[in-house]
Structure 1
C-alpha cells in the first residue's frame, strides 16, 4: 500500500531517502512522487538521525512509522513520525549493542538490525507507541572468509523475514553465508536454525525473494554475481543451485573492481535487477519460468556514481537508484517486455544511501 499525504486538495504520494549526514547528506528526506512521470520533489528533511543509511516502514498508533539505522559506532536505531511533510523523531536514538548497523527489518513485533561492524544481529521490541525498546537479544555471527581485506571477521549486512513470516535470514559478507534463524516473538531471542554456505570469497551482501516465494537471489559484493537458491519455507532451508555474473563477459578486465550493492525482483518474477558500484551500472537479468535460472540480458548506466541502493516503485513500472557519490537519486522507466530500464530523471540528494516507498 502506498502512503499519501494530503496538502490542500492534492494527494501526494511519498517516498523517503536516507543519506549520510557525515558526508553532507540531509539525513532522512521526504519526497513527493509524481504518479505520472515518477519525478521526485523534496517536501522536508531531518538530520536528527546521524548517518541513516537504511530505512524501514512499520505501523505506529497514528499510522505509518519510519525506522532508520544510525550507521555509527556504536550503532543505533530511531523511529520517525511521517504523518507530516517533515519526518519527526519519536523519542531519541536507541542503541543496538552493535557497531555499524547497515540494514534493518521488522518481524514478529520486533525491529532487527544487521550490524556490519560487529558482525551480529540485534533484536529490539517495538513498543505500543511505535518506538523501539531496549535490546532484547544479540546474535553474534562467527567465522571468516578468504579475502584478507574484507573477510577477517563476520560482517552481517542484511536481515529480513522470509515471505512466510516464519523465519529470519541474515546475510553475512564476512562469512560467505546466510543464516536462517527462528525468532521467538515473546522474548525476542534469535536462534540459528541453519546456515547456508556460499562459494568462498563471494561476500554475500543482500538477497531478494521471488514473488512466488520458492527461490531467493543472493547478491555477492566481492564477486559480482547472483547466487540462485531454492527456498523451502516449511523446512527453513536455503539451497544454492547456480551462480550468474551481473557483468558482461570481459567487462571487468583491466577495470576498477565492481561491488554490487542491491538486488530487486520484478513483481511478476520475470526480471531481476542489480546495482553495481564501480561499474556504475544497473544489470538486467531474465528469470525463467521456474525462477531457477537467471540470464544476463544487458547493463545500463546508473545515472550517477556509486549506486548504493535500488528499489522498485509500488507499481513495479519504475526503478530508483540512490547514487551515493554523485549525490542523486535517478529514476528509470522499465520496458515491460524486455525489463530494460531507461533513465527518466534525477533529484539531487547528497550522499544518498537508500530509497523507500511508503
Structure 2
C-alpha cells in the first residue's frame, strides 16, 4: 500500500518461527514519526525470513527458509495479508527474494541456487519453478565456503538483469531471464574470503555496493546496465578499529540522494554510516551507532530517507531511527516487539 493512495503506509516484518517468531507481522507506519504499531500476525508459512512486495504493492511474497525451501504469496488488503494458495517449492534454505519479469526469484542459500517461479496475473504463484540455476564454486573459508551459498538476488536498476550475490563463491552473477529461464551472462569475482552477502545500487545506477559478511567491508563496483557488467574498484571497512571474529555484516541501504550508505553488523550490534562522494565511487566510514537491539539481520529505509529500521533478530524487536539529513547519522526513536525479526519491508 503506497502512501498517496489514501491509505496509511504499512511495514511487513519477517521472522524465524523456528526461533520463536510469530510469522509475518503487519504494522502501521506513522508518516510523521516513522513509529510502528503492530496490526496483525499471519502464521501460515514457517520461517518467512525475507519478504518482498509485488509491483502493484498489493501482493506480498515470502520465502520459507526451511531445508526444503518454498515461496508463498499473500494478498494485501486491509490490515492482514491473506495467503493466496499453497507455497511453491524452491531450492533449499531460501534467504532472499525479488520480483522480475513476471517471476519471483529466490536466492537459495542451502542449495546454492537461484529459482524463478512464474507469477500469475492475479499475483499468485505457479505450483513449480520454471528455472533453477545452480551456482558452482567455493571459497577459502573452510567453515562457510565449502560450496555455493546464494544469499541475495535482485533486479538491476533498469530491470533487465537478475543479480545474484553468492557468499560461498566470493562472486556476483549477472543473469538473464529469458522465457522464464535463468542463464548466467557474467560472473564477477570479489576478494577471496570476503563472503559477499547483499548488494545495493546507487540511485543514479552507475555503481553497486556489495556488503561482505566474512570481511566487514563494502566492495564498490562500477555497474554497466547495458552490458550487464560489474567491476570492483575499491573496498571500504564498515567498522571502526580492528573487528574481532564475531562481527558479521548483514543489511545495507543507500539514501535516495546517494550521499550515504548504511550497514548493519551482527556481533558488534551497530549500524554504520558511510559517506559517499559525488562520483559515487569513494565511501568513507563516518559514524557507528548502536542498532537498538541484538543481532541486526536487516535494514530498511523509507522512501524519503527520513527513517531507518533495523530488524534485531536475537533481541526480538524492530527499532526505528530518525536520520539526520546533513550527516546521515541515525538517532534511535523507538521500537516494537517482534520475536526473531529477520527483515522489514515498507509499502
Which TM-score applies when normalising by structure 2?
Answer: 0.97
Match of 1:161 in 2: 155
Match of 1:34 in 2: 30
Match of 1:114 in 2: 107
Structure 1 residue ranges, 4+ long, deviating more than 3 angstroms after superposition: 3-6
Match of 1:68 in 2: 62
- Within-5 A mapping of 1:323-338: 323-338=312-327
Match of 2:274 in 1: 285
User: Is residue 184 of structure 2 the alignment partner of residue 195 of structure 1?
Assistant: no
After superposition, give the CA deviation of every residue in 1:189-226 in whole Å (9 maximum; x if it has no partner): 01101100000000000000000000000000000000
Partner Cα distance (2:100, 2:8) in 1: 28
Partner Cα distance (1:13, 1:290) in 2: 33
Query: Judging changes above 3 Å, is the alpha-carbon distance between structure 1 residues 18 and 189 closer, same or farther for their aligned structure 2 residues?
Result: same
User: Of 177, 188, 194, which aligns to 1:183?
Assistant: 177
Match of 2:331 in 1: 342
Match of 2:93 in 1: 100
User: Is residue 35 of structure 2 the alignment partner of residue 57 of structure 1?
Assistant: no
Partner Cα distance (1:313, 1:324) in 2: 20
After superposition, give the CA deviation of every residue in 1:5-37 in whole Å (9 maximum; x if it has no partner): 97xxxx432111011111111111110011111
Match of 1:268 in 2: 257
- CA RMSD between the two structures: 1.3
Q: Which structure 2 segments of 5+ residues have no match?
A: none
Which TM-score applies when normalising by structure 1?
Answer: 0.94
Cα pair 1:4 1:14 within 8 Å, conserved: no
Give the deviation of 1:315 after TM superposition. Answer: 1.8
Cα pair 2:2 2:8 within 8 Å, conserved: no
Partner Cα distance (1:256, 1:137) in 2: 37
Partner Cα distance (1:314, 1:290) in 2: 22
Cα pair 1:5 1:84 within 8 Å, conserved: no
**Size of the alignment, in residue pairs?**
346
Cα pair 1:178 1:197 within 8 Å, conserved: yes
Match of 1:89 in 2: 83
Give the deviation of 1:129 after TM superposition. Answer: 2.0
Q: Which structure 1 segments of 5+ residues have no match?
A: none
After superposition, give the CA deviation of every residue in 1:51-93 in whole Å (9 maximum; x if it has no partner): 0000000146xx6100000000110000001102111100111
Give the deviation of 1:256 after TM superposition. Answer: 4.7
After superposition, give the CA deviation of every residue in 1:136-155 in whole Å (9 maximum; x if it has no partner): 01000000000000000000
Partner Cα distance (1:194, 1:46) in 2: 39
Match of 2:167 in 1: 173
